[in-house]
Amino acid sequence: MALSLCVPPRPGELCAPVRLRLPGDHSTQQLTSRHRVTGVETGDGGEVVVRVEITDPQTSRPIDVRFDVVRPGARPTARSVLLGTVRRGGEPAEVYGTYLGVVADEN
C-alpha cells in the first residue's frame, strides 16, 4: 500500500521516511504536498503510527491533513481515504486521512 492524499512524489524523487504518532483519534498534521503514505501500525504504547515518505519541504508546499482513527465502517467524510486498519486495545480500528488544503500563509 502506497498512496497520497494530495500528489504522489515524482518518479525517482528522494523521499524521507517519517513516522507520525497520532496524539488522539482526530488530529491535524502538516505534510509536504508530495508524499506517500506507506502504512499504519500500533506503536509500543498503543498509539497509532502513520508511516509516510515526504519530499523535500523546500520543493513541495506544506499541506494540512486530518487523520481519524474510527471504528470499522465509520468513515469520517466522503473525501476521507482509508489508510489501513490497526488493533487498539484488542479492538479493530480504521485509520483515515483527509486532505484539508494548502497551509495558509500568515501575514
Q: What residues does each domain of the chain span?
A: 16-102
User: Residue 26 to residues 42, 58, 103: CA-CA distances in angstroms?
Assistant: 15, 28, 18
Q: Is the pLDDT confidence value at 1 over 80? A: no
The pTM (predicted TM-score) of the whole model is 0.91
pLDDT of residue 9: 95
Asked whether 92 and 85 are in contact (CB, 8 A), the reply is yes
